[in-house]
Amino acid sequence: MVTSRFELLNRKLSAIVYADVHGYSRLMDQDEAGTVVRLTQSLSFIRGLVGDYGGSVVDTAGDGVVALFPSPTLALHFAVEMQRELSNETVWSGGEDPIAYRIGITVGDTIASDGEIYGHSINLAARIQSLAEPRGICIAESVRQFVRGEAECSFRSLGKQKLKNIAEEVEVFAVDFELAHAEPRESAPHFVPATERFVPESSLAVLPLENVSGDPADLHLCQGVVADLISNLCRFRNLMVIARHSTLAVVTQTRSLREIANQLGVRYLLTGSLRRAGTRLRVAMDLVEAQTEHTIWSERYDGSIEDIFAFQDDVTATTASRLAVHIDMAERRRLMSQNHPNIHAYGMILRGQDLSFRFRPESNWHARRLYEQARSLDPRYARSYAALSRTFNVEWRYAWTNDPEAALNEALKLASLAVLHDDLDARGYSEMGLAHLYKKEHDPAIAAYERALQLNPNDADLLAEMGDCLVYVRQAERSVKLLERAMRLNPYYPDAYLWYLGDAYFQLGEYEKTIETLQKMRDGSESHRLMAASHAYLGNTQEAERHARALLEVHPNFTTEQWRKVPPHKYPEDTELLVDGLRKAGLK
C-alpha cells in the first residue's frame, strides 16, 4: 500500500491565538532602541504565560506571536490574562507609550511539517486580530460556540466580515472584559444582624478606595492598598477591624455610611480615593464616626508609586492613634520598621493575589510565575516567598500535581524562607503552619500558627485557619472560640468557616450542631462527608444514605480507604471516627 505525502502530514485540531503589536512601525520610528527592549520584555512574558495556560508558542516572527492551545476556553483565558497583565504593568512602569497588542482567536486544523506550523486557521486568526481594538480581543464564531458560557466575558458581534484572502465571510465577535478583576462578591452571604452583636468602641471597617482615575488597571492597586491597611491595623490588639470581603459585601448593597456601619457592627469607617497619573499618586483618606457621619480626621497624600509604603504606614498609625487605641510602642516600632520591597515586586504580588482567588490550575501557575518574578526582583521580599508557598499548598490541596509530597515540601521550604526574610510578618508563619499540618507535623504547625496570631491577632482568615488546625490535635473547644471570633471579624464569612466549625462540633461529638452548621453552607458539595457520618451516628439512616449518594455524585471515585489517608489527625482513632460514620452511612 502506498502512503500519500498528504497522509504523512501531522494534522491537529487546536485553538489558535494570534497577537500583534498595535502601531509597531510608529513605535519604532519614535524610539527604536526603547521599543526593541520593551518588545523583547513583552515577548518573554508572553512565552511564559502561554505555558501557564497549557499552550505552546509556534511562531514569534517580528512583532507577532502565534500560539496553539488544546481548547478555546484556555486560549480565551490566556488572551484575557495577557491583556490584563500588560495593562497592569503600565501602572508600575509609568511608561508613556506602552506596548499594546491586538489578539485574534480561531479554532481549526493546523499542520506540522519540517518543524513549521501551517494552516488556514492561522491566517484567519491573523485577519481577525486586525479587527480588534488595541488591548482588545476578537474571536471567530467557531470559538464563541465553545466559550459563550464564560462568566468573565461578554461577546459583541461585529457582524459578518469579508477578510483579506479569505473566501467566505466570517462572523467576528469582540470580547468585552474588565482589564482588572472586580472584587470577589458573595451571593446570599452569611450574616449576623448588628442588633445581636456588641459593638466595641474601637471598631473599624476600611471601605474600598474609589478609583478616581477610572483606569481599570488601577483597581488591583486600590485593592492592594486596602488589604495592606487592614493587615497592618489588625496588629493592634485593642482595635477590631472587619475583614475586607465582608466590607465589600455590604458596600455593594448600600452607599449609606451609617447603614454600612450598622450592617458590619462598627463605630468607625475609613474611606478614601486614589488617583494615578503615570507614576504620580494622589490618595485621600477620611476617618468617619459612622452614626453622626462626622469626619474626625482627614488627610491628602501626593507622591509617587514608590511612596506608597510610607503612606500606608502613616495612615495605619494615624488611624489607630485617632481612635485613642493604646498602641504598645514595640508594636508601633515594628510596624514602622518594615523593610519596604522593590515597587515592581510589590505590584506583581498584588496581581498574583488577584489570580489566586480563581482556584484554577492555570491561574495558580500564572500567579506562581508572578511571585517568582517578584522574588527575582527583590530576593529579600518575604511576601513573595509566602505567596509562592501558598501556590504549592493549593496545588497539593486540589491534586494538581503528580508529586504531592514534593509540593508540600516546597511549600514548607518557601514558608521558612519567608520567615527568615521577615520574622515579623504573619503570612510566612501561617503558610508554615498549613504545610506542617498536612505533613502531619502537628507541634510545629501549632507553634507556627500561634506565632502568626501573636503578630496579627485580628486577622479573621488566620483565626479560622488556626481553628481548623486545632481540630486535628483534639483542641476542638478552642477551635470553636477562634472560629466564632473569626465570624465576628468577618460577618460575611465564606463557607470554609462553616466547614471548619462543623468539623470541630463533629470532633466534640455534637452531631446535631454539626448538621445545623453545615446546612448554612451556600455550596454544600463538600459537606456531605460530615453530614453523612453525623446523621449515621444519630441513627438517621435515610438522611445518612442520601448524603452518601450525594457525596458519590460529587466524588465518584470516593472510598473510605482512600479518604483515611487525607485528614491530618494527630490521633488515628479520630480519623477512624469519621471513617466508621461514613461506613455506617453505606459508603465502602
pLDDT in tens, 262-305: 888 888 898 989 888 878 888 888 888 888 888 888 888 888 88
Average of per-residue pLDDT across 385-399? 89
Mean pLDDT of the chain: 83
Give pLDDT, residue 344. Answer: 80
Kindly report, residue by residue over 222-237, the tens digit of the pLDDT.
888 888 888 878 877 7
Q: Which residue has the cell 477512624?
A: 576
Distance CA 425, CA 434 (A): 15
Q: Which CATH number fits domain 12-176: 3.90.850.10, 3.40.50.1820, 3.40.50.12160, 3.30.70.1230?
A: 3.30.70.1230
Numbered ranges of CATH 3.30.70.1230 in the chain: 12-176
Smallest Cα–Cα separation from 260: which of 238, 288, 285, 228? 288
3-state helix, strand, coil in the chain (%, to 5): 55, 15, 30
DSSP string, 71-131: SHHHHHHHHHHHHHHHHHHHHHH--SS---EEEEEEEEEEEEETTEEE-HHHHHHHHHHTT
pLDDT, tens digit (0-9, with 9 covering 90-100), for 452-502: 998 888 888 899 999 999 999 999 999 999 999 999 888 888 888 999 999
pTM (2 decimals)? 0.74
**Alpha helix ranges (H) inside 472-540:** 476-489, 495-507, 511-518, 528-537
Answer for the pair 495, 521: CB distance below 8 angstroms, yes or no. yes
Radius of gyration of the CA atoms of the chain, in A: 26
DSSP H or E run through 216: none
Average pLDDT over residues 348-377: 85
All three cell numbers of 9, joined, read 502530514
CATH placement of domain 475-588 = 1.25.40.10
- CATH 1.25.40.10 in the chain, residue ranges: 475-588
Question: Which tens digit of pLDDT belongs to each residue from 16-53?
Answer: 999 988 877 787 777 777 777 777 877 888 888 888 88
C-alpha–C-alpha distance, residues 420 and 185, integer Å = 35
CATH of 194-336, one of 3.40.228.10, 3.40.50.10610, 3.20.20.80, 3.40.109.10: 3.40.50.10610
In sequence order, the 6+-apart residues with CB closer than 8 A to the CB of 577 are 506, 507
